[in-house]
Amino acid sequence: MKKTIRNNINSPYTLHDMNVCAFEISGNDINMKTQSGIVEVASPCRQLDGYVEFHNVQWDFSFVYLLGVTGNVGTFTGEKMFLKDFIEKFKQFGFSIMDETYGYNMTKYNGYLLSNRQHYECVIEIYHEGDMVFVAED
């Protein structure tokens, strides 16, 4: 019997508890800006000014799920939209990241969105065939 371990993706930075405030589109690339930058995972775990770049985003496979906040479990109502439509529709917002998931060509953020006095549980899926780049402005 052959066992193969899939190694965890260990990112050098985290966006946990960061508040995303803007997505800037340039062709098929996205710059995702936060209010407070990014945080180094390794000691001394400094918080740095910075943002995240996603290259060669595949728009047809990148989505946002907006779910009505009704508690931890139970039924909910919601909406699924293309990421590009979300970016065009939500000009001013705050998206608090609670969880980050990195997979094959996919980055997924779970958290809470506040926009126009509306509060949602939110999942943002970015399918990118290019690199995901943390830009730290030391």
- The model's pLDDT over 97-137, given as tens digits with 9 standing for 90+, comes to 999 999 989 999 999 999 988 899 999 999 999 999 999 98
Of the candidate ranges 6-10, 26-30, 103-107, 125-129, the one whose mean pLDDT is the lowest: 6-10
pLDDT at 70 over 80: no
Query: Which are the contacts of 3, defined by CB distance < 8 A and separation ≥ 6?
Result: none
Looking at 1-138, which runs of residues are DSSP E strands? 13-14, 19-26, 29-34, 38-40, 47-54, 63-68, 78-82, 94-103, 106-115, 118-127, 132-137
pTM here is 0.92
Q: pLDDT value at position 22? A: 96
Which of 81, 33, 34, 30 lies closest to 58, judged by CA? 30
What pLDDT, on a 0 to 100 scale, did the predictor assign at position 30?
98
